[in-house]
Structure 1
Amino acid sequence: MSLRVEQSLSQLLHEAFVSLRTLGKRSILALLGIVIGSSSVVALINIGHNAAEDAAAIFKDMGTDTLVAQFPPRGSSTAPMRASLDLAAIRKTVPGIAHIGAISQFSGPVVFHGRTFNTGIIGSTPDLKDAMRLSLREGRFLSPFDGGEIYAVIGDQVAQALSLPGDPLQLGDRVRISDYLFLIVGILQSQPRSMLIPVQANEAMFIPAEGMRRIYPTPQISNVVIRATPGQDMERIARDAATALKTQLTDHDVDIQVPQQMIDGMTRQSRTFAYLLLALGAISLVGGGVGVMNVMLMNVSERRREIGIRMALGARQRDIRNLFLLEAVTLTAVGALCGAVLGMSAAYLYAWLSGWQFSLAIAALPLGVGSTLLVGLFFGIYPAVSASRLQPVEALRDE
């Protein structure tokens, strides 16, 4: 019994391919519509997935355990921000803080052996290195005992800009800022860029916060960077840290950014973007399905005598229906497979041109191929049912 079923299915598939081949250009055009629709779904799902992955990667190197505090003026206050804060008191007050560092910023030229580079000069507290996850290529970072010293740690890009072949900037060299010569005690490794941290470490020069008055008469803290111990509730730490900071400030508010909230917002935007792209792909797929139905209706119209002969020889209505339905699904299946390959290639090319790391969306192929087969089945039902309802006498009467 199973052998007869397998032979019947094999024969039906053979007849389906022969019938579609005889349709010629019409079959190819319908197939092309299905390929475009299927590839659109696969490609657009992957593009949306890779866009979301690229957006989330911005925060991966920094981690979700980092908070950055800003200090906007309170109301209409024009009072300058303080030059220092009691960070140790905040660390004691708020449990769960691993590292906390303050930043004050100034920009200006740094001179080494007659070579000049405009850089951001960062007044740094000692714990800023761990709060920002800075890593050193050479030397050390600023310590709590360097407050009165003219020491500096420079970023990788600054070191490269001030170096020449045969005359590189090295540990122990001195660079001039304004009227002061700062001794280089550390050189940072190249750091990944972060949208949240207000300092691009590669292009910065870090000096003790107490020494900022040497180059800028009224330094002001612009940000405080907080890094929490693992497993903490970041929103709770943000609230407690804001409360603790406000006790030291009279003319400024405290605004703390929580990376996880930003990531969640970006994830929601990316999901909406992915749904929009999926809807566009579905519209293309429906257009391909309409093309399949059109081809199958023409196929039924041209094969009325064949249908009449089959019925006269004993074919049942369901046999005729299954024959034409199989032809529609076969045409759609070929288009789905070709569209999947084309869609993956298009998504990879788009990611490569955008500079993204390509990764395959798990749902792309099942959704792309599955939805294409469902569309082919849906749009193939009407022509198949129409063919099965033909009366043998009426069908055989056609010339």
Structure 2
Amino acid sequence: MSIVLPPVDAPPATKARPDTVRLAADISIVVPCYNERANVRPMVAALSAALAGREWEVIFVDDNSPDGTIDEVRSLAECDGRVRGILRVGRRGLSSAVIEGVLSSSARVVAVMDGDMQHDESCLGRLIDAVVRDGYDIAVGSRHVEGGDNAGLANGWRKFLSDSGIRMVQMILPVRLGDPMSGFFAMRRDLFERAVPHLSGTGFKILLDVFLSAPQRPRVLEVPFVFRPRAAGESKLDVLVLIQFLAMLGDKVCRGFLPTRFIAFALVGLVGILVNLVVLDVARRCGADFASGQGIGTVAAMVANFWMNNSLTYRDCRLRGGRMWLGLLLFLAICSVGALADIGIARAVFSEDGKWNQAGAAGAAIAVVWNTPCRRR
């Protein structure tokens, strides 16, 4: 009798455990989240009930939430192989989170929904079937078709913003859609991937971005759903999100010739000029001489520009706490050459005609042009 020994460097044979084998997912649900720890387990439980009999996975894309959202995701993933988490450090934003989540998936169909339980997961089956069985490219959960409702919006102000945005978007949208502002949809992953190079990746309205960036007009079906009140946490909608939305629309209308960040730079520069002029006028009324007033106005404008760029232009990776104050000091130091040019040009113009506003505006404009490179990271 002969005994055949395995090679010395061969790994020991292991027996696969049946309970660890899982079929590849047919659908990936991408959930961008920030401070949604309390909603993670209820969402997975709701998805389990809504998608029973299907092969699915859920990908939570967390923007480094301080409440430990990713810890809750990892804890759940240890006992449920359908749960995955992506932790993003140093960048934020719903649209970019969705892009990373979708690109991490290999499923043929991807769905996107919010992490706050306001989207009705029981509608996911109809959204998926519209793409898989009925041949649609995108299926949208709609609050504005028969059977849908947006009652879950927090207040009248949010409803006004939503309705106004929808009316604005419908004028430029290449397809007829009742709820282009929806964040609840399913679509073919290959279509999303073809649109990715053209996406702005900013703001909260990734579906709108996809429609305006798709290489061909997609076939769309709207499925009604009732927008529920938030289960836990608080809304992320604020004025800066609205500004980002308008900048993204401007980017798409201009077909990328004026990128979103350029538009943001222009807006911030204009605000800096206004701040400079307002402070200069206040200094004049308080009896200061022109040079002192222009100097104070220039510093105030630089601080305002830094704050707006940090909050708006670079919202996806903005500085906080001590890093923000250090960034402000560095920004002031680097832009000091532009500040000196501002004051020098303004004094020269003032010596010619003696008009405060015209001289101040000329100096501020020079500073905006000079310091623009300083705002890039």
> What TM-score does the superposition give when structure 1 sets the normalisation length?
0.17
Structure label with greater radius of gyration: 1
More strand by share: 1
Q: Report 1 or 2 for greater relative contact order, CA contacts < 8 Å, sequence distance ≥ 6.
A: 1
